Every structure is written in C-alpha cells, then in structure tokens.
Amino acid sequence: MTMTQKTLTAVFLSGAAAGLLGAASLFGVVAPGTARADIPPSVMGGTPSLAPMLKTVLPAVVNISVVSKQEIRNPLLEDPFFRRFFGNPEQEQPQEREAQSIGSGVIVDAVKGYVLTNNHVVEQADTIKVRLNDEREIEAKLIGRDAATDIAVLQIKSSGLKALTMADSDDLEVGDFVVAVGSPFGLRQTVTSGIVSALSRQTGITGGGYEDFIQTDASINPGNSGGALVNLQGQLVGIPSNIYSRTGGNIGLGFAIPVNLAKSVMNQLVENGKVERGRIGITGQDLTPDLAKAFGLTTARGGLVSSVVAGSPAAKAGLKPEDVLLEANGRELENFAQLRNLVGLMRVGEKVELKILRDGKPMNLTVTIGKDTEQAAAGDKLHPMLAGATFAPRDESNSDGDQTGGVLVQAVAPRSAAARVGLRAKDIIIGINRRPVKNMAEFEKLAGVKGGELLLHIRRGNGALFLLLK
C-alpha cells in the first residue's frame, strides 16, 4: 500500500493493511511480570553497548504472521454503471485465494497477554499467530482495531510473558537516541538505532486518519510494522508504522506512532472493542505568515476556525469563525491538526479548555466533547434512493483540513439502494440539482424531495462526478 508524496512514497511497513503502537498497562500501572527495563546503556570491556538494555526489551517484541482469505472478483462487475449498461449481468461465484503477511508486535501487559501492533498488519486476517522470542508460537485473538490511528490490540494466553514499560512520549525531544526492534523483511529480532529526527509529523498515509508521528532515522523497513521504538532505558516510546521511500526500503525517513496516542486508543479498544470518536464541530486551517499578519499576530503557530457547525458543541460553547486557536488543555498548538488529534482521541463528555484570540483579545472557552455521529442523518428519511447511506456534516472529525464544504457520505450499506446507484463511503456531496451544498441544512432541504429526481455532484478523492437518482 503506497501513496506518492512529491518524489517519495509513503509505505506501510508490513505486508497486510494498517495499526499502531502500544503502552505498558492500560491505566499507567506496571503489571506483574512487566520488565522494568530501566537499565541504562553500559560499557562492556571498555566499549559502549546497548546489549544489557536489549536483554529486557527483546523478549517483549514478537513476530506476527497473518493468513487471510481474499475473494477474487471481476472489478468490472462491481461497477454499478457497467452492470446497468450490460443489463445487470450476474457476478460469477467469487473464488478465494490465501494470502500471507508478516509484521511485528509488542507485549504491553504480561498478565492479560495484550499485544499492540498496527491495524494494517491484521485488518484482513482470518488467523493470527504470534511467535515469541523463545520460539513459542501462539494463536492470537483480535481484541479490536482502529484504522484511523492504525492501532490494533491482540491477546495471547501463555505463561512467562514479558512486557515493555511505557515512557511518556510527550517528553521526547528532537535529538534523543532511540532503538527500533522488529522483523524487517521477516528477519526476526532485528535491532537498529538512531535519533528522533522530528516530532508531530503528518504523512497523509492514513487517508484522513489521526497522525502525530515521531520521525526517526533508526533503520526500519517493511515488516517492522507494529514493532517497538524504545529509548535508551528500554522504555516504549513509539511503534513504527510507515516510511518514506523511493524503493520500499529504508532511506532514513521512518515514522512511529507515539505511545501516548496508542495508549489512549488501546484503552478504548480493550474496554469497548472500538473507538468512539470525539468532535466539537468546527472546520479550520493552519495559520500562515500572511494570515498571522492579517490577524495582527506575531507568530504563525496555531489554527484558524473557518466555520462552526450549527448546534455543535463548539457552537454551544461560543466558538466563532475567525477565532484563532492558541492552546488546548494548556498545550500550545502548532497547527490545526494538533487540535483535531486531541479532540478525536478524547472521550465523549470530557471537556477541552481552549485559549483563543478574538479580535485581538485573548479568551478562554470550555467545550464539551460530543460524538462524531450525533448529527448524522439517515438517507432513507430523505429520499428512497439514498436508503442505506448515512450523511454527516464536515467538521474537524472528517474534513482533514479541507475547506470546500459539502456533506460527507459517512457509510453505505452493501447492496442497499444507495450502493446500487453508486454512492460510496467518504464521498463528499457538494451539490444537488445544480445548487451548491455547503452544510447539512442545505443538504437535507435539497435531498428531501420524496420521489423526485436528484442530480448529485460528488467529489471523490481528487476527482468529481455526477450521479442521477430517479
């Protein structure tokens, strides 16, 4: 799975499809059986060595092998336009082929047997096996996974497990030494070292997901996905997830998910089997030097509110377009994406304290986090041909910084009326019957024509198309 960015390619580091890094215990308490791993690098025979530290780390890093059954279908017969043109020809009975892939994982709870890995390692798995440092092979149970953060949690049952302790990834600084452990190209228990090259990186490879990567030049390659990035005390700070590369191999641009982000997602996956996304209901953008000058600011750090969804938590708290976002929960915001990440990983009902600038005057607002589905609309209540689809307003939870407005197709049920006419999840409806759609109110008004024709103008990926519903 690749994505071109300029002349480089962002590549997931395993042969399956998407997941993330881990924490030690679910509540920040070191579980019994957890290796303390607080042994600093030593001098052995007069030569500096990481070997003593790695003796505590290696038993907690595992190899993951995945077997999945994939259907082989004719892609033309999946296209509703092709099927309609040729009179809805029947799809042949799909054939299956078996696919295998490998990745890495980290034991983060020795008592309960929780293993953190990337979602893309296990998302299509039918069977998952974990091989330990001592060569034991154990079948794993998938507890939950989250594509938006590329995190998955597995569980294995065995005695004598060793888990890594967890560092506070917010304490990382550029220049800190780190060590990567995993199974690049299937070569188990491979150790490489480097430094933290940058923090809070966004690569775009998760396609609108929540990204706050640690960039490192520690050599990581395909197969490292889900492995461990540790500090020199042997504490887990991140999990390698993807790389930039021209060839698919390492060129010194590797990215790992911070352990604090992974811990937050892991807790929800263990408790609920899924992540319930938070939202406040705004769209925004990064401040540029020109925008900062226009708003009378001395720095271009922070975010700018572009719009506020009517009836959203942000609207109820008094947030307005053109407000400048400076801090969230006491943390200075570098860009709008930081606020999006923070809100998206908070629990519904929690509060975020915002420091903003309005008309040059500082203000403090408290916003209560809401659900990302609370303002979704069901298509069957609007038009018969939209049945099976749900629609949501564009805000920080799904707009990924895009300022073009419109309404998001949140989900489309298979074989539903909406699916048959060609709607897809993540489509953005920007017009109906040649009239622009900027928000949910306009969409519901224009789409709520029972039995009437609807000409939908849709943005899909980097392109656009029209769909006629009648």
User: Do residue 267 and residue 357 come from a single domain?
Assistant: no
User: Do residue 49 and residue 23 come from a single domain?
Assistant: yes
Q: What is the pLDDT of residue 29?
A: 36
User: Do residue 312 and residue 195 come from a single domain?
Assistant: no
Q: What is the CATH number of the domain that holds 103?
A: 2.40.10.120
User: Do residue 297 and residue 248 come from a single domain?
Assistant: no
Q: What is the pLDDT of residue 80?
A: 58
Is-catalytic flag, 383? no
**Residue at which a domain ends, from 371, 400, 420:** 371
Is-catalytic flag, 150? yes
**Among 288, 274, 309, 302, which Cα is nearest to 399's?**
309
**Residue at which a domain ends, from 224, 243, 272:** 272
pTM (predicted TM-score): 0.71
Instruction: Report the percent of the chain where pLDDT is more than 70.
Output: 80
Selected catalytic residue, list 25, 120, 264, 395:
120
Q: What is the pLDDT of residue 55?
A: 92
- If you average pLDDT over residues 118-131, what whole number do you get? 89
| 220-229 confidence digits (pLDDT tens) | 888 888 999 9
User: Do residue 32 and residue 120 come from a single domain?
Assistant: yes
d(CA 432, CA 469): 10
User: Do residue 236 and residue 295 come from a single domain?
Assistant: no
Q: What is the pLDDT of residue 404?
A: 63
| 200-216 confidence digits (pLDDT tens) | 888 777 666 778 899 99
Q: What is the CATH number of the domain that holds 341?
A: 2.30.42.10
**Among 188, 223, 193, which Cα is nearest to 62's?**
188
Selected catalytic residue, list 225, 241, 245, 416:
225
Q: What is the pLDDT of residue 35?
A: 47
User: Do residue 221 and residue 254 come from a single domain?
Assistant: yes
User: Do residue 245 and residue 330 come from a single domain?
Assistant: no
Is-catalytic flag, 241? no
Q: Please write down the HEC assignment for all residues of the chain.
A: CEEEECCEEEEECCCCCCECCCCCCCCCCCCCCECCCCCCCEEECCEEECHHHHHHHHHHEEEEEEEEEEEECCHHHHCHHHHHHCCCCCCCCCEEEEEEEEEEEEEEECCCCEEEEEHHHHCCCCEEEEECCCCCEEECEEEEEECCCCEEEEECCCCCCCECCECCHHHCCCCCEEEEEECHHHCCCEEEEEEEEEEEECCCCCCCCCCCEEEECCCCCCCCCCCEEECCCCCEEEEEEEEEECCCCCCCCEEEEEHHHHHHHHHHHHHHCCCCCEECCEEEEECCHHHHHHCCCCCCCCEEEEEECCCCHHHHHCCCCCCEEEEECCEECCCHHHHHHHHHCCCCCCEEEEEEEECCEEEEEEEECEECCCCCEEHHHCCHHHCCEEEEECCCCCCCCCCCCCEEEEEECCCCHHHHCCCCCCCEEEEECCEECCCHHHHHHHHCCCCCCEEEEEEECCEEEEEEEC
| 73-124 confidence digits (pLDDT tens) | 555 555 655 555 555 555 555 555 656 778 899 999 999 999 999 999 998 8
- Domain holding 16, by residue range, is 1-272
d(CA 340, CA 282): 10
User: Do residue 154 and residue 248 come from a single domain?
Assistant: yes
Mean pLDDT score of the chain: 80
Number of structural domains in the chain? 3
Output phi, psi for 47, to 5 deg: -115, 125
Selected catalytic residue, list 150, 323, 395, 427:
150
